[in-house]
Amino acid sequence: MPELPEVEVVRAGLEPIVTGAVISSVTVLDERSLRRHDGPSEDFAHRLVGRTLEVPERRGKFMWLPIGEGEALVTHLGMSGQVLLRPPGVDDKLTRIRLELQHPVHGQVRMNFVDQRIFGSMAIDELVAVTDSGAGAGETVPTAVAHIARDPLDPFFDERQFFDRLARRNSGIKRALLDQGLISGIGNIYADESLWGARLHYEQLASTITRPRARALLAEVRSVLLQALAEGGTSFDEQYKNVNGNSGYFEHSLKVYGQQGKPCPRCGRPVVREQFMNRGSHFCPRCQRPPKPTV
């Protein structure tokens, strides 16, 4: 599933091309991609045509394009969603929604929402005021995103609140990192990579992690996310692409995720994969020793 780096790469790629563009037509090819929209495809198209796209925004894995009048076009990439920018008349296989745009500088642009597994979606949503302690004047998010915590690259991310809440968690540290209500944008890939960097086992109770180690973990999370951003994200099975249809290459920098059986880059011990929450956890059994069982 695309995580913060992948969604941010898409957002940044859209920004210079779609900001200020007017939506001239909308074609819904598969209504399943409107599962989060409150209304039929006719409502979706009617409410978008003639609207002007503003600067794309993101929180965690959610991305939205404000369209004025207190509304936004919210895009969730799901497992395999892609937002591709194409010249007029150029389509993509598995396009679910097509938007024709007219930009004052770039002219006609086609924006295709492509989704193989159809877990992603587009929807029109109301924008509501942000009320947390770091909220800037006039800052808004879609209602579907209001429950999502800020991500660790957000300049208003509240570190003290994060550490305090982490210290009260009696779940494993990986489960805490995946909780988008605590810290957003981190999925399975970047959780495994960050925990390896911090030498923490995924089952270590969050409440037992000292403040210095929690700070070191947060620093690793930021480092991993920034490196992934610089390398265009992580692409597996051709399912993640940037707006130009190109893959990211952070997969070549992965230390443990997907590396089971290969030597740990730090100590040489084979990387292990264990079942975790209907997915897998990848770690080094020497560098990331499991917590001692409680009596």
CA torsion through residues 217, 222, 82, 41, sign: positive
279 is catalytic: yes
Both structure tokens of 268: 């040489």
Walk me through the domains of the chain, giving residue ranges and CATH numbers: 4-145 (3.20.190.10), 159-283 (1.10.8.50)
262 is catalytic: no
Amino acid at 119: F
Q: Which of 91, 93, 97 lies closest to 76, judged by CA?
A: 97
CA torsion through residues 115, 119, 120, 125, sign: positive
Q: What is the pLDDT of residues 152-196, one digit of tens each?
A: 999 999 999 999 999 999 999 999 999 999 999 999 999 999 999
- Check residue 294 and give its pLDDT: 63
58 is catalytic: no
Catalytic residue among 61, 174, 199, 241: 61
Question: With bands split at pLDDT 50, 70 and 90, how would you rate the model's confidence at 21?
Answer: very high
Catalytic residue among 2, 56, 142, 152: 2
- Check residue 236 and give its pLDDT: 53
CA distance 171 to 203: 8
Catalytic residue among 117, 262, 269, 279: 279
Q: What is the pLDDT of residues 216-244, one digit of tens each?
A: 999 999 999 999 999 888 765 556 677 87
Helix intervals (H) in 126-187:
159-167, 173-177
220 is catalytic: no
| pTM to 2 decimal places | 0.92
